[in-house]
Structure 1
Amino acid sequence: MVIEEKLTLDEVANLLGKSKETIRRWDNTGKLVAFREPMSNYRYYKKNQLDIFGVEKDLEPDINEGNLKLDGNYTVLELFAGAGGLAIGLEKAGMKCVALNEIDHWAAETLRLNRPNWNVIEGDIREISFKQFENKVDVVTGGFPCQAFSYAGKRCGFQDARGTLFYEFARTVNEIKPKICIGENVKGLLNHDSGRTLASMIAILDEIGYKVLDPKVLKAIYHNVPQKRERLILVGIRKDLDISFEYPKPNKKVYNLRDALKKGELFTCDVPISVGTKYPDSKKRILDLIPPGGYWRNLNLELQKEYMQKSFYLGGGKTGMARRISWDEPSLTLTCSPAQKQTERCHPDETRPFTVREYARIQTFPDEWSFAGPISAQYKQIGNAVPVNMAKEIGLSIIAFLNKANSQKETIA
């Protein structure tokens, strides 16, 4: 049986570009009527209700890879490289990784295990100089952690950012002077410290000679990834280059969990068997009662209160709690620990978390990409990664930009 995808109030508001208050008003006036869960009266919507608003019509295909000519051997240096999700995607797009920095030992081992030829620089970025790469690298990328700055009596410039990892990202960009730098982070960076953190980051890149484009939140489900993951992309272009950069355009095709784990368009075979963690008996007892596509509100009222405890009385849908993913929907955003409370991502048929290889499939890692370390470290590496397919689309946009940069250079010459 095909279960229709349920959308929360937040998701509908984001898709339509409206406030939650507007969506609630539309519900009251009959323009877009919400469904209600029995007992809890929780409000939700079905995806096909949005057809009348032309949501899908606004989506455009990504850059056509077949028509994109690689006009050079473009190079990238990646910071905070993790298990290589972004690096693999950029490699698939046609770029060459000249160096990758990562402090986590097991993630660094994963990079070495899969790409012995990559220059993996394991260690604390604060203790590493990248001056040897000055004017030798086209792109610097990095998923820097989100940290607030201290504003008291400061102008929040480059030197004021010392002590934060974004300073190290900016310092590396300043040392290397690439044509373009790409930062990625969680969507929450937009509102971190009331937006002041992001504003300071943009000001710092401007100070060191980079024009920063308006940040863009990319939704992974529109970039060949069967997962509702969102990443904020920050692009800085060196000021001597008067060249535009175009973010990847969203695809119309949305893949689901079946596409991730079964043979089909995304993968040529079913997901390989692998190790995975288990739920404790108390959690398994609850999740046994949840249908595919369901979550804690599918329990009877007494079990809802027992499982949710204090969270039961708080606001919000909490749709990720006690959640069993349906075959016919994309996965919710994967976390670093698949069995932790409040972020359950239960297999549709079996009452268990996704295995390591299932996790990797949902993040669109190739099956041949192995992960080093104990199982907890493997889950953490995958959960923290940029989805490979989305990274490839970002890479194609970078290549299109660098092609224009090459063309401009030839014209000037």
Structure 2
Amino acid sequence: MTEFNLTPQQPANGLTVLELFCGGGLGAIGFKAAGYDIVKALDFDKNAVKAYRYNFGDHVEQADIRKIKINRLPNTDGICGGPPCQDYSVSGNGEGEDGERGKLVWNHLETVKCKQPKFFVFENVKGLIGKKHREKTFEPLIKKYEEAGFNVSWKLINAWDYGVAQKRERVFIVGIRKDLGFTFEFPKPLEGDYQTRVLRDVIGDLPEPERQDCGKYWTPKSEYTYDQANRVQSLDKPSNTIPAHHNSGQPIHPTEAPRRFTVRECLRIQSAPDTYVLPDDISLSAQYRIVGNGIASRVAWYIGRALADQLASVSN
């Protein structure tokens, strides 16, 4: 079994990053591989912070962004991160910015406004641009980033278009400080990446997990049913979206139903390399949550590379 890695390391690009809502670091995998130096990372969730620290080091801090003093955060070239998405998710409660987590989009904005980095990257669920939240939250958010001094572009990205074996649609907003004189252009997929990678490519070489190893995967209860959400996947197609909850609405393994994917299989479907490891003292449900909440690593890598290239072209 060869070591799995869809985020090949690029040379250091000299750009520093502050990561907000860093989660367990799946997005960090992509940005670090694209050559960035992440100097500080923040998240509220203790398990996510534990996973991040285990893989990347002590620059991560467990903190509530609503209470942290922005002026004590480091000045960096960029600010990256996706505020918690549950309040905007179609499968969530739909409270949007009225929800406690939904309000955090404005904390991201406030941090960017105060720190004035060269760029920022913001990621969230497709529901943010849906009818319910677009007029109240998304459009005012874009306007306020523009008013804060940034040229803003956004795109609904399906990870499958960028070499990830998963149909996962997420909204990405990228802002470039106006004095730099350009607007970010989202990258085109590299040759051979567009809607080509399937489950067989990413999990086909993994051995079947031992049944007694309950730390590996969640087995549904006997009354489990295959409904719209709990679909058996095909090895010759991409996976449905890997969600954050562990016990329902999960894509089901193509050949070993009724079990869901193991945590390692989920990580590979999220395009995280095998070098990324979740500590054993994090509960199984928390491990699944960390993976499901993460940014697909290869998508972060793509955006990071394009950003670095475009910033370099204006500074030369």
TM-score bucket (shorter structure)? 0.7 to 0.9
Q: Deviations over 1:350-371 (max 9, x none)?
A: 1211111111111111112122
**1: distance between equivalents of 2:244 and 2:114?**
32
Q: 2:254 aligned to 348, 353, 358, which one? A: 348
Give TM-score, length-normalised by structure 2: 0.83
Q: 2:164 aligned to 225, 240, 260, which one? A: 225
Secondary structure of the corresponding residue to residue 51 of structure 2? helix
* Post-superposition offset of 1:337: 2.2
One-letter amino acid of the structure 2 residue matched with residue 129 of structure 1: K
**Inter-CA distance 194–223: structure 2 relative to 1 (3 Å threshold):** closer
Q: 2:236 maps to what in 1?
A: 328
Structure (1 or 2) with the larger CA radius of gyration: 1
**Inter-CA distance 100–123: structure 2 relative to 1 (3 Å threshold):** same
Q: Deviations over 1:133-162 (max 9, x none)?
A: 56x311101102347458xxxxxxxxxxxx
**2: distance between equivalents of 1:244 and 1:194?**
22
**2: distance between equivalents of 1:114 and 1:272?**
25
**2: distance between equivalents of 1:392 and 1:216?**
16
**2: distance between equivalents of 1:271 and 1:367?**
14
Q: 1:189 maps to what in 2?
A: 128
Q: 1:122 maps to what in 2?
A: 62
**1: distance between equivalents of 2:105 and 2:252?**
35
Structure 2 contact 216–263 (Cα < 8 Å) conserved: yes
**Inter-CA distance 249–272: structure 2 relative to 1 (3 Å threshold):** farther
Equivalent residues in 2 for 1:145-224, closer than 5 Å: 145=84, 146=88, 148=96, 164-191=103-130, 192-213=132-153, 215-224=154-163
Structure 2 contact 128–134 (Cα < 8 Å) conserved: no
Q: 1:94 maps to what in 2?
A: 35
**Inter-CA distance 241–234: structure 2 relative to 1 (3 Å threshold):** same
Q: 1:106 maps to what in 2?
A: 47
Secondary structure of the corresponding residue to residue 137 of structure 2? helix
Structure 1 contact 338–354 (Cα < 8 Å) conserved: no
Residue 362 in structure 1 maps to residue 304 in structure 2: no
Secondary structure of the corresponding residue to residue 125 of structure 1? coil
Q: 2:291 aligned to 374, 382, 404, which one? A: 382
Secondary structure of the corresponding residue to residue 255 of structure 2? coil
Structure 1 contact 335–384 (Cα < 8 Å) conserved: yes
One-letter amino acid of the structure 1 residue matched with residue 105 of structure 2: F
One-letter amino acid of the structure 1 residue matched with residue 274 of structure 2: D
Equivalent residues in 2 for 1:4-403, closer than 5 Å: 72-116=13-57, 118-133=58-73, 136-145=75-84, 146=88, 148=96, 164-191=103-130, 192-213=132-153, 215-250=154-189, 251-252=193-194, 254-263=196-205, 270=206, 273=209, 275-283=216-224, 286=225, 296=227, 320-340=228-248, 343-351=249-257, 352-372=259-279, 373-403=282-312
* Post-superposition offset of 1:194: 4.5
**Inter-CA distance 326–166: structure 2 relative to 1 (3 Å threshold):** same
User: Percent same amino acid among aligned pairs?
Assistant: 34
User: Which is richer in helix?
Assistant: 1
* Post-superposition offset of 1:391: 1.0
Structure 1 contact 139–180 (Cα < 8 Å) conserved: yes
Aligned-residue CA RMSD (Å): 2.3
* Post-superposition offset of 1:164: 2.1
Q: Which moved more, 1:88-97 or 1:165-174?
A: 165-174
**1: distance between equivalents of 2:122 and 2:202?**
27
Q: 1:301 maps to what in 2?
A: none
**2: distance between equivalents of 1:203 and 1:222?**
28
Secondary structure of the corresponding residue to residue 337 of structure 1? coil
Q: Deviations over 1:98-132 (max 9, x none)?
A: 1111000000000111112x411211011112324
Aligned length: 285
Structure 2 contact 157–170 (Cα < 8 Å) conserved: yes
* Post-superposition offset of 1:95: 0.7
One-letter amino acid of the structure 2 residue matched with residue 227 of structure 1: Q
Q: Deviations over 1:38-94 (max 9, x none)?
A: xxxxxxxxxxxxxxxxxxxxxxxxxxx99x886x41111111111111111000111
One-letter amino acid of the structure 1 residue matched with residue 119 of structure 2: I
Q: Which runs of 5+ in 2 are unaligned?
A: 1-7, 89-94, 210-214
Q: Which moved more, 1:245-254 or 1:224-233?
A: 245-254
**2: distance between equivalents of 1:271 and 1:234?**
38
**1: distance between equivalents of 2:181 and 2:208?**
47
Structure 1 contact 272–357 (Cα < 8 Å) conserved: no
**2: distance between equivalents of 1:141 and 1:69?**
19
* Post-superposition offset of 1:344: 3.2
**2: distance between equivalents of 1:368 and 1:252?**
25
